[in-house]
């Protein structure tokens, strides 16, 4: 028999299950009032897991008539001293251990998660039994079942329910990741083929389009120059009209203004479309464009009732709050727990 400390022998004499029973009543005491020594595993039932994987049942005990501890993890024998420090902080009842061994899951498991994380049974796709169900169909069924399980967590009122709900969330994220991984894998050959097509054709598409846009801009510059010349002519006509009316009043009074010779007036006409000898014609529209902002406050005040402006301000305010700013005027705040 391996050499044991006096403390371990004493615990065996007083009660071989005493440490586990105390830990089961108060798990927070493990490592504090209930000391944990690496080479002194305590008889009992526990659970452990690898990162983000399902919990596995652990049993550490003295077989009847034996003075040597044995340990089992998920039904497989392991060294007690190796499993002990991983499992000791997670004591479970004997009933919970047995249920887990029988594949019934844990008391704090979400039922959907417990059912889905069991090793899947092969599912045949037809009567021959030679084809498995399509991966997408298998995941679709599991996701549908997990989504249906959300009803149990529409409102969470205690920590135990929150833990179960988190298990379901983790499972949904896991299923999402699995589906996305398969999607990427199945799509990859098509992407590579698409990239090859793009490599061949996109330079031609882009160079021709760039040339067309350059010609369009040159035509636009010419139309803009024509528009400015027309605006200048209209201004001169209007100034001539005003000057003629003023001169008539000064020379012969108001009556002469009425009988004065007519001066050319401004008539607004839309720019004529451009007709090409090849291909379709192009219309010309006069558009007022923003040149510069001279008063940001005045512009913001004018736009303040626009939903897009308000959404933008909300986003900027939240970014400032996320950065730790607390002196933001014009808002109210509240505390909210964010689950990540």
pLDDT, tens digit (0-9, with 9 covering 90-100), for 88-142? 999 999 999 999 998 888 888 888 887 787 644 444 444 444 344 578 888 999 9
Q: Are residues 98 and 140 in the same domain?
A: no
- Assess if residue 91 is contained within a domain: yes
Among 176, 200, 224, residue at a domain's last position: 200
CA-based nearest residue to 180, from 151, 145, 143: 143
Among 171, 200, 229, residue at a domain's last position: 200
Tens of pLDDT, residue by residue over 1-16, are 344 443 444 444 458 8
- Assess if residue 238 is contained within a domain: no
- Assess if residue 61 is contained within a domain: yes
The two tokens of residue 101 are 């061994």
In this structure, the number of other CB atoms found within 10 A of the CB of residue 290 comes to 6
pLDDT bracket for residue 278 (50, 70, 90): confident
Total domain count, the chain? 2
- DSSP conformation class of 294: S
pLDDT bracket for residue 85 (50, 70, 90): very high
Among 165, 200, 235, residue at a domain's last position: 200
Within the chain, residue ranges assigned H as helices are 6-14, 18-25, 80-87, 94-101, 111-116, 135-148, 159-252, 254-259, 296-303, 307-322
- DSSP conformation class of 28: G
Helix, strand or coil for residue 282? strand
Find the mean pLDDT for residues 19-31: 93
Separation CA 47–CA 90 (nearest Å)? 6
Find the mean pLDDT for residues 136-155: 91
- Assess if residue 304 is contained within a domain: no
The pLDDT value recorded for residue 134 is: 73
The pLDDT value recorded for residue 11 is: 47
pLDDT at position 65 over 90: no
Q: Are residues 181 and 97 in the same domain?
A: no
Average pLDDT, the chain: 86
- Assess if residue 181 is contained within a domain: yes
Q: Are residues 11 and 103 in the same domain?
A: yes
- Assess if residue 337 is contained within a domain: no
Q: What backbone torsions phi and psi does residue 274 show, to the nearest 5 degrees?
A: -100, 125
pLDDT bracket for residue 223 (50, 70, 90): very high
Find the mean pLDDT for residues 83-91: 94
Q: Are residues 145 and 101 in the same domain?
A: no
Q: Look at the pTM and tell me if it is higher than 0.85.
A: no
Q: Are residues 15 and 83 in the same domain?
A: yes
Q: Are residues 50 and 96 in the same domain?
A: yes
The two tokens of residue 87 are 């499992």
Distances (CA, A) of 125 to 129, 143, 182, 193: 7, 19, 19, 30
Find the mean pLDDT for residues 285-292: 91
* DSSP H or E segment with residue 132: none
Q: Are residues 94 and 137 in the same domain?
A: no
Q: Are residues 89 and 142 in the same domain?
A: no
Query: Are 237 and 229 within 8 A, CB to CB?
Result: no
Separation CA 141–CA 137 (nearest Å)? 6
- Domain span at residue 21 reads 6-107
- Assess if residue 154 is contained within a domain: yes
Separation CA 174–CA 172 (nearest Å)? 5
Separation CA 52–CA 73 (nearest Å)? 17
Separation CA 102–CA 95 (nearest Å)? 11
Q: Are residues 95 and 186 in the same domain?
A: no
In this structure, the number of other CB atoms found within 10 A of the CB of residue 87 comes to 25
Q: Are residues 93 and 163 in the same domain?
A: no
The pLDDT value recorded for residue 47 is: 95
Find the mean pLDDT for residues 265-273: 73
Q: Are residues 103 and 145 in the same domain?
A: no
Q: Are residues 150 and 75 in the same domain?
A: no
- Assess if residue 73 is contained within a domain: yes
Pairing status of strand 56-61 against strand 76-78: unpaired
């Amino acid at each position: 028999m391996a050499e044991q400390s006096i403390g371990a022998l004493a615990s065996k004499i007083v009660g071989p299950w005493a440490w586990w029973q105390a830990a089961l009543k108060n798990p927070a005491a493990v490592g504090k009032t209930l000391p944990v020594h690496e080479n002194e595993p305590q008889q009992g039932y526990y659970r452990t897991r690898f990162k983000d994987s399902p919990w596995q049942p652990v049993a550490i005990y003295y077989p009847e008539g034996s003075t040597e501890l044995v340990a089992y993890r998920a039904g497989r024998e392991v060294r007690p001293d190796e499993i002990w420090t991983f499992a000791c902080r997670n004591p479970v009842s004997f009933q919970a251990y047995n249920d887990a061994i029988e594949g019934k899951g844990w008391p704090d498991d979400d039922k959907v998660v417990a059912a889905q994380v069991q090793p899947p049974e092969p599912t045949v796709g037809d009567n021959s039994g030679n084809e498995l169900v399509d991966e997408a169909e298998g995941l679709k069924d599991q996701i549908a079942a997990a989504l249906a399980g959300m009803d149990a967590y529409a409102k969470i009122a205690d920590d135990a329910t929150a833990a179960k709900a988190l298990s379901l969330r983790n499972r949904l994220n896991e299923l999402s990741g699995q589906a996305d991984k398969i999607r990427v894998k199945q799509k990859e050959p098509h992407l590579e083929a698409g990239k090859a097509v793009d490599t061949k054709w996109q330079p031609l598409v882009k160079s021709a389009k760039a040339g067309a846009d350059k010609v369009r801009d040159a035509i636009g510059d010419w139309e803009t120059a024509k528009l400015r010349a027309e605006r200048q002519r209209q201004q001169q006509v209007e100034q001539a009209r005003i000057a003629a009316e003023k001169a008539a009043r000064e020379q012969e009074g108001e009556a002469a203004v009425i009988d004065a010779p007519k001066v050319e007036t401004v008539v607004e006409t839309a720019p004529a479309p451009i007709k090409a000898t090849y291909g379709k014609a192009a219309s010309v529209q006069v558009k007022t464009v923003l040149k510069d902002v001279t008063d940001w406050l005045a512009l913001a005040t004018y736009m303040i009732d626009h939903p897009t402006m308000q959404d933008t301000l909300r986003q900027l305010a939240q970014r400032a709050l996320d950065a730790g700013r607390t002196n933001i005027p014009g808002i109210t705040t509240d505390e909210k727990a964010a689950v990540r």
